[in-house]
Amino acid sequence: MPSSSSGPEMDTDERRPTATPPTRVSRWAVLSCILYLSVAFSSGGVFPFSPFSMYADIGSRVPARKGPTPKGAPREDIGPRAAIITAKVDGEFVRAENLEHFSGLDAASLVPPRGWSSSMQYRIDEVILWLQRNEMAPDEALGPLEVEIGFLLVEFSPDGIRSQQWKPVTQGHAWPRH
């Protein structure tokens, strides 16, 4: 018969306290953990165990190499580099979104130059869409602004920007956006 005392619950058959059994960790879980940690610490900078964050400072990224070389020949280390899409009006860099009613621009040709990467593909897509949605109507007068849209090619060194080069891809006319 169970007692109404405030002590531990007693099993009626054996009159001893009931306890929850200890939690057991699967042998496979322990082995998996050990295997994961040993691979993570022994593999170095191999994905997904890389010590570098995805959007780390560009100076710490793996350097690019310049052009094809004969088999076995060393390649010139030029450091990280990027192609940044932008527009230019009268020698000044502007955002394409500050212009409208475009004419003469080939939006489909806006592809980063061969050998140059762009981590801003979304930005290239935005500019292409903006150009396509804001083309000049057939009965509209030609815009007063001469526009170049292309890529600013930037090479980095450990000390900062090593070089910049403007590479226009398409040219035409536009109106300033009000």
Q: In terms of domains, do 39 and 82 share one?
A: no
One domain for residues 92 and 168? yes
CB 177 within 8 A of CB 100: yes
The answer on 167 and 93 residing in a single domain is: yes
Same domain, 35 and 103: no
How much is the pLDDT for 161? 79
- Report which secondary-structure segment, H or E, holds 123: helix 121-133
Q: Give how many domains the chain has, as a whole number.
A: 2
Q: Are residues 34 and 90 in the same domain?
A: no
Q: Are residues 93 and 170 in the same domain?
A: yes
Q: Is the pLDDT of residue 168 over 90?
A: yes
Which carries the bigger pLDDT value, residue 70 or residue 22?
22
Record the pTM.
Answer: 0.55
d(CA 168, CA 178): 25
Q: Which domain holds residue 124?
A: 77-176
Q: Considering the chain, what is the average pLDDT of its residues? A: 77
Which residues, other chains included, contact 1 with Cβ-Cβ below 8 Å and sequence gap of 6+?
12
Digit-coded pLDDT (tens) for 129-159: 999 999 988 788 888 999 999 999 988 877 7
62 belongs to a structural domain: no
Quick one: pLDDT at residue 23?
75
143, 174 in Cβ contact below 8 A? yes
Looking at the fold, whether 31 and 104 belong to one and the same domain comes out as no
How does pLDDT run across 66-101, given as a tens digit for each residue? Answer: 555 555 555 445 557 888 899 999 889 999 899 999
Per-residue model confidence (pLDDT) at position 128: 92
Residue 163 inside a domain? The answer is yes
